[in-house]
Amino acid sequence: MSFELLVKESFTQLSSGQKKVAEYLLENIEKVAFFTAVQIGREADVSETTVIRLAYALGFRGFSDMQASIQQHVLESSTSRFTESAPLAGEESSIFTRVIERDFAILRQTLHQLNQQDVWKAVDWLMEADQVLIIGYRASYAAAHWFTYYLSMIRKNVLLIPFNGEIEERIVSLTDKSVVVAVSFPRYTKDTIRVVEASKQMGARIIAATDRLLSPVSRLSDIAFTTEINIESGHYSNASVINLLNLLLAGIEEKNSTQTETRMKKFEQLYSSWSTFVE
């Protein structure tokens, strides 16, 4: 298990001081790879003892064992990181080039940290669920709407939770065979957390698409998929989020190709009879 995933799995059982250290480590993981326990404690504003206790709480034999795990994580991330190419002679690197290259780098990093077993497990859940609710508010809405549209092409009983109205009615119909997909990127909304918490109380499984393992929605999820977001231009890019969700669609189509093809043919027949598209 990776260090990040280990922290996520253990986070709720940690003390407040240990949570503070854990969050600091994940947010500064490359910086702290060779820090001592004293240095980490000073930076996280806790005692050295709290840092050492965190190591034991996470199941390590001691601080040096935890530090080795962090160093291994950093090493693996560094060797797989996309190296942006320098501009050719006489060619200036424009803002557009930098934004696109940054998206490429994020996609490669997302692929590197992806847990394929979790992807296939999420695919099975989405295929077997009696219904799938999808939520994404504000900046996360576009990706949630896109995923709802394409997932509903593959299977029935897929609903997007609206901004207001009918929220309670959709949550109350959830069962322990239902799945909720929560798309949540900064700035996180309280409404998303409320919906996820209520859905868990109904017994539904939660799949999260978010930016970090300790984001509010990730801590509530059964499976969390993370990807960085390109905020170079002042807002985040949906490119990596869409690609992350597209992996789930690709997995469903791979496992359920016959039923997917049958459903798509029905759509095409309806589109044709209604002259929906310009031919």
Count Cβ neighbours within 10 Å for each residue of 23-51 and write b for 16 or more, e otherwise.
bbbbeebeebbebebeebbebbebeeebb
Q: How far is CA 203 from CA 88, 206, 208, 232, 257, in A?
A: 56, 9, 16, 39, 29
The pLDDT confidence band at residue 212, using thresholds 50, 70 and 90, is confident
pLDDT of residue 267: 82
Q: Sketch the domain layout of the chain as residue ranges.
A: 3-80, 115-273
The half-sphere exposure of 189 on its side-chain side, counting CA atoms within 13 A, is 15
Fold of 3-80: Arc Repressor Mutant, subunit A (1.10.10)
12/24 Cα distance (integer angstroms): 16
Tell me the per-residue pLDDT of 216-232, one tens digit each, with 9 for 90 and over: 999 999 999 988 776 55
Give every CB contact of residue 118 below 8 A, 6+ residues apart in sequence: 223, 225
pLDDT > 90 in the chain, percent: 33
Q: Do domains 3-80 and 115-273 have the same CATH topology?
A: no
pLDDT of residue 130: 94
pLDDT of residue 82: 42
For the cut 80, the answer to whether the pLDDT of residue 90 exceeds it is no
Tell me the per-residue pLDDT of 97-149, one tens digit each, with 9 for 90 and over: 777 777 777 777 777 777 888 999 999 999 999 999 999 998 889 999 999 99
Tell me the per-residue pLDDT of 144-201, one tens digit each, with 9 for 90 and over: 999 999 899 888 899 999 877 778 888 988 999 999 999 998 888 999 999 999 999 9
pLDDT of residue 89: 45
Q: How far is CA 140 from CA 65, 137, 232, 240, 248, in A?
A: 38, 5, 17, 12, 17
pTM over cut 0.85: no
CATH of domain 115-273: 3.40.50.10490
Q: Average per-residue pLDDT in the chain?
A: 83
pLDDT of residue 186: 85
